[in-house]
């Protein structure tokens, strides 16, 4: 759980009751309740395994949707309280009229075609040498 943010946790449990397990930080502060999940053997053709996988994916989609809706609600409330997007803040700071919005757009980075050979641009010394050779 906390491997990504490089935080070590302690796992506290009662050996007589493994259904109640808690994650604690290094100072002993409660972080989360932990639940054990039954490991599912990999058997794509097994009906029971397919049901468990479907249930898992359904739960995941539900959580993702709830997260998206929560973020949208937070964004809506923030806008109602006067928060601005980065683009709106830029227009305000530079005092650009809103009519310039279509002219300012994010463009994808240019990708070199695969059949072209990449060549480094000429350096100032190369340009100077070419110019001097042209004078001869």
pLDDT tens readout for residues 1-38 = 445 566 788 888 888 887 788 888 888 888 888 887 77
Residue 61 has pLDDT above 90, yes or no: yes
- Residues 6+ away with beta carbon under 8 Å from 43: 49
Question: Rounded mean pLDDT of the chain?
Answer: 80
More confident residue, 118 or 104: 118
Q: How confident is the model at residue 74 (pLDDT cuts 50, 70, 90)?
A: very high
- Residues 6+ away with beta carbon under 8 Å from 22: 11, 12, 13, 30, 31, 32, 33, 34
* Rounded mean pLDDT, 70-76: 92
């Amino acid at each position: 759980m906390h491997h990504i943010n490089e935080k070590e946790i302690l796992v506290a449990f009662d050996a007589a009751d493994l259904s109640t397990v808690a994650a604690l930080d290094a100072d002993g502060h409660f972080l989360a309740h932990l639940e054990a999940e039954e490991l599912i053997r990999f058997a794509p053709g097994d009906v029971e395994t397919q049901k468990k996988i479907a249930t898992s994916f359904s739960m995941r989609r539900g959580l993702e949707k709830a997260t998206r809706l929560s973020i949208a609600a937070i964004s809506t409330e923030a806008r109602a309280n006067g928060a601005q997007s980065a683009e709106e803040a830029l227009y305000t700071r530079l005092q650009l009229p809103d009519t310039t919005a279509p002219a300012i757009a994010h463009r994808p980075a240019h990708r070199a075609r695969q059949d072209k050979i990449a060549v480094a641009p000429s350096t100032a010394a190369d340009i100077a040498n070419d110019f001097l050779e042209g004078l001869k």
